[in-house]
A and B are shown apart, each in its own frame.
Chain A
Amino acid sequence: MNAHAPVAPPQTNALAPDVSAYVQQAGEGLHMLHLMVEGVHCGGCVRRIERALTAEPGVIEARVNLTTRRLAVTWRGAATLGEALVGTIARLGYRATPYDPRQLASGDAQAERCLLLAMAVAGFAAGNIMLLSVSVWSGHVYEMGGATRALLHWFSALIALPALVYAGRPFFASALGALRDGRTNMDVPISLGILLASGMSLFETIRGGEHVYFDSAVMLLFFLLIGRYLDLRARGKARAAAERLLALGTDPVTVLAADGRSQVLPAERVAPGMTVLVAVGERIGIDGRVLTGRSEVDTSLITGETLPQVVAAGNPVFAGTINVVAPLRLEATAVGKRTLLAEIVRLMEAAEQHRAKYVVLADRVARLYAPAVHGLALATFLGWTLLAGVAWQTALLYAVAVLIITCPCALGLAVPAVQVIASGRLLGKGVLLKSATALERLATVDTVVFDKTGTLTLGRPSLDHRMPVDRSALELAAALAGASRHPLAKALCLAAPGVPVATDVEEVAGQGLRLVTAGGEVRLGSRVWCGVTDVDEESSGPELWLARSDRRPVRFAFADPLRPNAGEMVGELRRRGLGIELLSGDRAPTVAQAAAELDIEDWRFACTPADKSARLKELADAGRHVLMVGDGLNDAPALAGAHVSLSPSSAVDISQNAADAVFQGERLQPVVEVLDVARRAARLIRQNLGLALAYNVVVVPLAMLGMVTPLVAALCMSASSLLVVGNSLRLRGRS
């Protein structure tokens, strides 16, 4: 949560990830860096970033990919320039995270390219065979000679057979895999239909027959490949953009060897008992106990607590927290899989397994579909041979027509077409869908559970403007605060922008700041540090005091403000009839205040990650479909265990990985948006499946009666597919 730099203010860049590890050699004296850039949503952003970067000395090329929100920048010069370039992007107001393209060039990209190639080949073949087929069909009317027809059939076969072998591979492989496991899936009837149709057509071609189905077989494949491609793209694109590498969480650890030399080790190679040095602003990589030093640790990642906690010799610290004030020397007590951080990850994985196996609607349809189609085709064949007594070749031709006409063109497009449009629409609103089934699950949500810190609130303290503040006191305080990385000090600086930082400010860990001026000593810090004894003022919540020798101490109160429109969003959710709950790891008064402001009746405080998981399980057992919205590591198990989950893009990496969808920006409006789009998408998917079913009900009897010629098959297939796609496009309209 607040471990990350917020999107806008550049002051908070101190915790920006280390990019040097991601800089790559790109030839002679050239370096290259791949970054994921958040907040890019239009051509203007692309241009601003590219311009700013190319204006930097040494930069040769900067190219933003608007689809995946990624940036590749190449420069001539030292590798360390990368740091400055990330700073340049941050100053423009975008958050950039480095990534390793090799790690992302996963199976999906390969599969996508493979499908696209197959689609291109199938499309080419379908178009050309259709040209020939139209001639043949016209020939039926104008009495084309048998030799010419045979020639055209042979040409069709020549194009169709290699194309089918090449473009059909994805289906054949999947069908074969299913059969080997003793299952059946949608690809079995598809493969069988294609193979039978082309085999039968080849036979007819050799025999000089009148009807061949090459065009239908190839067109079928083409439509199905479009569906497959859209399906993969809907998932792949969004997931790739949301994919933050967990590697960022495994920062290297500085270990002090016995001979006094320091050494940087990867976290997993640190052994318990080793002495570890932690610099200011560094994320602690291990669980340990403080040996020497006094500092404050930002534990928001683990506990959700907004304010850093004071640690001194003997206190435990945990991996994933950030050292804020002064350097620390630790003794490692647990590393790797033994840390609290790893414990939470395990909890999350366990929760994920508990999540009921969700079967996508399309798969449920497919389970009924395959046996039905095979049964009908077999019935047709047997009916014609046994009852009507026609030649087996003719009967087989009719059976093939049944297989072709029932082949799930429209069915294959019904779901992916809607999903692509829905996810494209959501992407435009800054929501990235990561899970393929997220849309379907979102549509059934009846309860929304929120985390507080970082989700409903911004997750960083800011000066409470409800208290009257003396301007000159604020400016003096900000001048001191500029020297510190403490979140409250940063908040003070933000409240008084443009105030120059005072020099010679001394920081005493866990206490405050001190500056000696001509007019006496000025102190900024805790109540005790500033010598405030009278407790007459209300004292809840985080605060800083400013003490000057000649005047009364001034109090600055801080609050973690709610995200803009949080109240409105809660109201809109309630209007849609959804139950709302608040589960927070924070203390009772702060949670109560937030709940009161948002008018949420069900709230729980001081929840551990396990408590949150337990509550979600309770809700699930009561038959509720819960949407969990959270961002912290402490929410990760709950996110993984909820029916469906959503997290802001400011969330920690693990939470983003656990969530089904990620939304960008400071506003919470996307929560409502996502639910609305999901519900409409679910409605359209059901309509599409209905249309596909209605089509089958009409044409299957015709096919079984042997009335479907290749021409009729081609018309029916294209018409039903167009109808389904057209219906899906309605999602794009009204907003």
Chain B
Amino acid sequence: MSGLLYLIPIALALGLLGLAAFLWALRSGQFDDLDGAAERILFDDEER
């Protein structure tokens, strides 16, 4: 049972990492154009 004492914090930290990643993605505009993103992956010669 003592394993829980560090396993739970680790699980929570990983979860928080995911949350932080989502917040970052949201702030950097990655959710602004979901339809466009779905199409852009099919462009084969993106020159930039």
The number of residue pairs between A and B whose CB atoms lie closer than 8 Å in the complex comes to: 54
CA distance A132 to B4 in the complex (A): 11
Say yes or no: B15 contacts A66, CB within 8 Å.
Answer: no
Q: Is A587 at the interface (CB under 8 A from chain B)?
A: no
Write the nearest CB–CB distance from B43 to chain A, whole angstroms: 6
Which residues of B sit under 8 angstroms from A159, Cβ to Cβ?
Answer: 12
CA distance A46 to B35 in the complex (A): 11
Q: Which of B19, B23, B39 contacts A42 (CB 8 A)?
A: B39
Given A120-B23, A124-B19, answer yes or no on A66-B33 (Cβ-Cβ < 8 Å): yes
Which residues of A sit under 8 angstroms from B48, Cβ to Cβ?
Answer: 54
Q: Which of B4, B11, B31, B43 contacts A148 (CB 8 A)?
A: B4
Write the nearest CB–CB distance from B39 to chain A, whole angstroms: 3
Residues 113-147 of A, flagged 1 when their CB comes within 8 A of B and 0 if not, give 10011001100100110011000000000000100
CA distance A313 to B45 in the complex (A): 60
Write the nearest CB–CB distance from A229 to chain B, whole angstroms: 11
Q: Is A392 at the interface (CB under 8 A from chain B)?
A: no
Say yes or no: B33 contacts A68, CB within 8 Å.
Answer: yes
Residue in A closest to B41 when the chains form the complex, CB atoms: A43
Say yes or no: A67 contacts B1, CB within 8 Å.
Answer: no
Residue in A closest to B5 when the chains form the complex, CB atoms: A151
Write the nearest CB–CB distance from A220 to chain B, whole angstroms: 19
Q: State how many residues of chain B have any CB contact under 8 Å with chain A.
A: 25
Say yes or no: B33 contacts A117, CB within 8 Å.
Answer: no
Which residues of B sit under 8 angstroms from A351, Cβ to Cβ?
Answer: none
Which residues of A sit under 8 angstroms from B40, Cβ to Cβ?
Answer: 43, 46
Q: Is A65 at the interface (CB under 8 A from chain B)?
A: yes
Which residues from 480 to 530 on chain A have a C-beta closer than 8 Å to any C-beta of chain B?
none
Q: Is A47 at the interface (CB under 8 A from chain B)?
A: yes
Residues 60-101 of A, flagged 1 when their CB comes within 8 A of B and 0 if not, give 000011111000000000000000000000000000000000
Residue in A closest to B32 when the chains form the complex, CB atoms: A65
CA distance A309 to B33 in the complex (A): 45
Which residues of A sit under 8 angstroms from B47, Cβ to Cβ?
Answer: 54
CA distance A64 to B33 in the complex (A): 9
Given A65-B33, A117-B26, answer yes or no on A128-B39 (Cβ-Cβ < 8 Å): no
Say yes or no: B36 contacts A117, CB within 8 Å.
Answer: no
Q: Which of B11, B19, B36, B42 contacts A67 (CB 8 A)?
A: B36
Say yes or no: A65 contacts B36, CB within 8 Å.
Answer: yes
Write the nearest CB–CB distance from B27 to chain A, whole angstroms: 9
Which residues of B sit under 8 angstroms from A124, Cβ to Cβ?
Answer: 15-16, 18-19
Residue in A closest to B22 when the chains form the complex, CB atoms: A120
Which residues of B sit under 8 angstroms from A131, Cβ to Cβ?
Answer: 11
Given A128-B11, A148-B1, answer yes or no on A66-B19 (Cβ-Cβ < 8 Å): no
Q: Which of A54, A66, A128 contacts B35 (CB 8 A)?
A: A66
Which residues of A sit under 8 angstroms from B16, Cβ to Cβ?
Answer: 124
Which residues of A sit under 8 angstroms from B8, Cβ to Cβ?
Answer: 132, 155
Say yes or no: B26 contacts A120, CB within 8 Å.
Answer: yes
Which residues of A sit under 8 angstroms from B32, Cβ to Cβ?
Answer: 65, 67
Knowing that A66-B36, A67-B33 are A-B contacts, what are 13 other residue pairs whose CB atoms are under 8 Å apart, sorted by A's residue number? A42-B39, A43-B40, A46-B40, A54-B48, A66-B33, A116-B26, A117-B23, A128-B12, A145-B1, A148-B1, A155-B8, A155-B12, A159-B12
Q: Lowest 3 CB-CB distances: which A-B pairs, in order?
A: A43-B39, A66-B36, A65-B33
